[in-house]
A and B are shown apart, each in its own frame.
Chain A
């Protein structure tokens, strides 16, 4: 596997920020009560992670090891502030919907974690790619979590999309009479669904490992039988 492919695989599956590293739960649980909010926060997080990884990779030679954490935090906070202001000024309609999520990104420790673990030790291209794929790994999990919670909680998908694209509207998936299931919308529901997702990932990984081991023993057996007596 090439280095870039490995970075991508790590971000999306193997070291997935939520499923494997279980980082950044605060915004994850707070915002994943429906699909639209979840994807919105996820996309904003991708932008911040790419920019912060890029900036810190570019400045890494200038940052003394001893004070790297405060400098990282300073850079991330400054970038988020700039994005927040720019969003408010130039994309105001979207800011009204997504604006509340941008400051939340600062509370996501995954940004700092990737900067420290990856961007500070790698080149520009690899660091930016890492920010992108780690962000994508965050988006697909938070989107899945949001979709499951919204579907179980209120029987809809994409509700609230009209606030981002006024011409679209959400879908009623379950019958309108569906009374809703409140706990899915509340924080405990987020923990339940997240727990199931992590369990699902572990199950898939365990199954893949099992297969690999079987294949290996199979090979060995073949090897042993084909060997001259």
Chain B
């Protein structure tokens, strides 16, 4: 069995390479929707224009499972992945990623070397961090014509703010928000979530809105749920909410309280047969002017200092981009910086707890009540 599958793997590696020798294709796994469009305009199209190499995208919604399965099957279809930094660092530890040479990174236009221009921790042997994004809670303005929700606690308050809640079907962000809503200070979130008691508390808090949760998996989905009126509040990525609100004119607003700041990084899966092109692409996509071009299309902060200085007005709507950036000073007061080390070290644990919680609730047992509640 083993040698055969190995042979198949080799064939499947070489064949496309041979066939596509003339018109090469780079497969990038990324997140779809408005985000992917901004990448297309800022990175993919200019890259194809310059090199003649076509960029094909596949949808990736985070996590390590798909990558693990691909590597296990021996059929690595992706060449470049746009990963959450904590996932990338966990994948790196599991040996799922190729190492990337920092020499591919271009200096800033004024000659500043990349290691000084990128934010701290962005350049890693396994990944190059490119943007600062934020997971936020947004609400449908039509659902709350009177008093508007303002805090994370309001997301859990079904009495004052009735309506369905769209939440990502993954143990990411929900635990932090559950504890934030119990007035745990953001500095202590990960310390408390490190205890069994903290996890139980968070899931018990989620129990309280369990019946009104509508799950989403892809970033575009959550925007769709909110703008179509299927839910009253939704968690999602700030850039996509920005796109719906500003570019599409949807009646939605973002609650910046408890925004969860995270980072996205470029990474290359182990076993890709296009390592050189993948590196060429990452080098291209992390150039200052290209990063700024993306930031002027969607409100994600570039990980390069020089690129941040080029943020101005949106390329089409001419809306000033800076106030919509997650890193705008007025949004940072209650921001939670996602603890990447904690995230990457607790992947399995969080997944297991989440799965068990889902199963427990699917059996429809009534939420457990403590005497103190």
The answer to whether A and B interact is: no
B residues neighboring A (CB under 8 Å): none
A residues neighboring B (CB under 8 Å): none
